[in-house]
Structure 1
């Protein structure tokens, strides 16, 4: 028997993720700020849609969210028509938004007061990972809530792990974004250098990707980086939002992130070039613009 599920937020990630739950036999009701998209999803997946989060979560055993930022998350959870006003006791709220650890802890505590479990579960893998059902999910929260939610998360994930108490999922996603930021800058500089030196960069990448320099970014982005094409994938605006979260947390904990801070400034230059929606691999555009 499938579970009764509500899904809040149908962006490029949430839309296919909710579809995997419906495909797996769960009874899914969706809410999206733009109602037309919720109607489209419901028609496409033979599901249901509701006009507010509060109405979407009625009788749901599990509620999932994937929205933009801390403020968006608070609005759909504890706003006037938020999910917590309609969820039943014992239900589990799974938040896939990339947000701060503070808001995760805040909503976990609020949920506990209401008898609702809240786990923070940001994802990595981008739009392609969501569409292909192979996301990596990093979770913070209580073990029993995670154990209940894991079989549903597995519908669209290839890796899912509980990493600690509330906030641990968001902190792990910060580590992920910090690592990616430095890596993409290094890859951009390497490709830029090779092109200036007159090397056949496709051949170069074919060789070095078999050695210690190998990375997901190298194997999946080198061709478009060489060609100067950035019209897909994880957008610069989104990466700057994530790096802002990382840098704020670093200030709070006393961690030093000189490379992440520098790359964040490089991304601000990409935005000035009109690259707000370019893929994050567009860092190379700053080097190649001369």
Structure 2
């Protein structure tokens, strides 16, 4: 009988050919493996170095009498400082509200197929991003040098209203216009990028359903773009809180100007600047917490 007539013998031979050889002893196979945890020596060394530096800096700040921590505690909750803090927070909220409204309009105009709208938006962004915000702030404050009076009238009709430009452009008005118009240029690019992140098929589907442009923009595109817009917008709000310190150059009593007003009398510059820094840190920390909560709210239902 040939080998083809013995399939069992062939199967057994094939099994013996592919099966691995057994270990000589069972002691090696049954011995448990020892897991050795990694040792991150570099991390521990860097941690010790960082702690040593922190301790050195803290010791220097505490023992150095020039910091005048007693003076810092004296003026930390001063009424003048707290009023300046309120002015800073109020300016930040008003300026960002104005900037967000203008930026949505500018972003939509930038994406418009109309060359007039798109060109105006590009020119606005080019100008306000290309000039320093401090220069813009001082320019608005001195607008009366160019236009002493402000008038409202219809073409070929008598003047309806006229007023002095100095009465119209107060430090508050100059601060809101100077910072708000500049911030709108940056926010317009953020919102434009957020709108561009939405798939084009969403817009095509909305048009196929017969929606007008304002409808699909408000109901379809912007809700999907908001999760991409929130993080950079939060950063801009925090940046604006610190940028409001520029209004001190036009004598607006914000947090920095209030600190300057005190140390101009007491000549205690460093303690009052530390007080201002502490309150700026507190305000930015609160805004960071609010930003994280808003981000989590709009990220519901999404996988990271």
Note whether the superposition's TM-score is higher than 0.5.
no
- Greater fraction of residues in helix: 2
1 or 2 for the larger relative contact order (CA 8 Å, sep ≥6)?
A: 2
Between structure 1 and structure 2, the one with the greater Rg is: 2
Q: TM-score, normalised by structure 1?
A: 0.22
